[in-house]
Amino acid sequence: MKAGSLSFIEVLATSIALIGPSMTPLLIAPYMYALAGNGTWLAYVFGGTMLVFVALCINQFARRSTAAGSMYHYVAEHLGPATGAIGGWTLLWSYGFVATAVLGAMALFVGKLFDTMGMHVPAAAIVIVLAAVAWQLAYRGVQVSAIVMLVLEAISVGIVCLLVAIVLHAHGPTLDAKQVHVAGGFPGGVGFAIAFAVFSFVGFESATAFGAEAKQPLVTIPRAVIASVLFATAFFVIATYAQIVGLAHAPQPLDKQQFPMQTLVDIYGLGYLAIPITIGAVFSAFSVCLACITTGGRIAYAMAEAKVLPPAFTRIEPNHATPNVAVTAVIATTAAAALIALAFGVSPIDIFDNCGTLSSFGFILIYMLVAIAAAVFCKRVGALKTIDLAISAIAVLLLLLTAVTLFYPVPAPPQRWFGYSFVAFVGAGFVWFRATKASG
């Protein structure tokens, strides 16, 4: 893309497309409702507010430099190599589980498309094929066309908005009292509800990757980072509110729906939209999967350059100039996780839900580290103001409160073990870092 070719609207649209907002009403909403009940909209308000403060911290870097960076570099450069190593392992965990989650989602959606044609294809076969395609694209450095991604996501979001408008019009101007008063809210726990809400926002910081292409990047990119969070928050709140209203008298409540949008189009006589919605969801999930594999591979490459991972991960494929070993390791790990889960009888929807929750632990920690790094960065450049320190502190506090509620009250299995698994993983990564430094 040419330098200075992207306006604010174009950067914002691309950033929103990378979030994949249509995935929330299509697949995330049932699990969110199981966790938050009639408080689902409130969980998204809290999650969005929390990420606005995180976005303001990210913008401390974005409004002073156009260099494309990652949260790993932000943390490593300003909080030291040890904390940077923790941040790197955390990001590998986060992006790895997001990729595994959307592999499960694609297995579900593609399987549904085959079912409509009277064909049954094993979920494992779908995962293998899609993982192989994603690996080839990431290996060769071929990026999913921004135009195609924007169009597909726009169509998918547009269909969702059409359904939402129809549902809200049918319901009338009266607000749903149960949702307004949060009656029966958070049956699955407020902590997991907010943590899973964070999963919906993954990719909001992607505007920082367009420093070379954006017009007036030091202004455009920070605005796009904030605006993407605000748009996603409004979309998630309105869409999930409408779904709860629309499915209030359905045979099964939202948390029991595997394809809630399918049920809505059937209820309102719009069944011809079912297949386009499903196809849009497949492409949306695939884009997210490819982005996570590509990003995860480059984080592994950067960690290897810092001698946190074996030197083999710094290998560059000569024909395509991609970190082929790192990318291959990431896709192999994520695909293996999905296939092992399927082999043990875990359904694709449970893979999506559980891996999405697991990824949220990592994002909460890395966002916390970035918030701290932002304050350190401002102090180093002599620009730290009271308001900057307050924003970082609020971001850390909100993230910390969410983290605490993930452990107490004690959640039911298997979520009960998720937090401890994450802590063990990060702890093992830190031990590995100390061992490699000692041997080096």
For residue 216, the domain's CATH number is 1.20.1740.10
Query: What residues make up the domain containing 203?
Result: 8-439
Whole-model pTM: value is 0.92
How many Cβ atoms are within 10 Å of 86's Cβ, its own excluded? 23
Q: Is residue 253 reached through a cis peptide bond, with omega within 30 degrees of 0 on the bond before it?
A: no
- Predicted pLDDT of residue 355: 96
Task: Tell me the per-residue pLDDT of 146-160, one tens digit each, with 9 for 90 and over.
Answer: 566 677 778 888 888
In percent, how much of the chain has pLDDT > 90?
Answer: 62
Confidence of residue 202 (pLDDT cuts 50, 70, 90): confident
**Residue 2 maps to a domain:** no
**Residue 400 maps to a domain:** yes
| Residue 149 near residue 369, CB atoms below 8 Å | no
Task: Tell me the per-residue pLDDT of 45-57, one tens digit each, with 9 for 90 and over.
Answer: 999 999 999 999 9
pLDDT at position 68 over 60: no
Task: Tell me the per-residue pLDDT of 322-347, one tens digit each, with 9 for 90 and over.
Answer: 889 999 999 999 999 999 999 999 99
Question: Which residue would you say has higher pLDDT here, 344 or 317?
Answer: 344
For residue 214, the 8-state DSSP code is: B
Q: What is the mean pLDDT of residues 168-197?
A: 93
Q: What is the mean pLDDT of residues 214-229?
A: 91
**Residue 379 maps to a domain:** yes
Q: Which residues contact 417 (CB under 8 A, 6 or more apart)?
A: none
- Predicted pLDDT of residue 149: 63
> Per the structure, how many domains does the chain have?
1
pLDDT at position 212 over 70: no
Chain mean pLDDT for the chain: 90
**Residue 1 maps to a domain:** no
- Predicted pLDDT of residue 2: 57
Confidence of residue 350 (pLDDT cuts 50, 70, 90): very high
**Residue 270 maps to a domain:** yes
pLDDT at position 142 over 60: no
**Residue 35 maps to a domain:** yes
**Residue 182 maps to a domain:** yes
Q: What angle do CA 389, 393, 399 make, to 5 degrees?
A: 150
**Residue 377 maps to a domain:** yes
Q: What is the mean pLDDT of residues 62-81?
A: 84
pLDDT at position 211 over 70: no
Q: How far is CA 256 from CA 216, 232, 237, 349, in A?
A: 47, 24, 20, 12
pLDDT at position 65 over 90: no
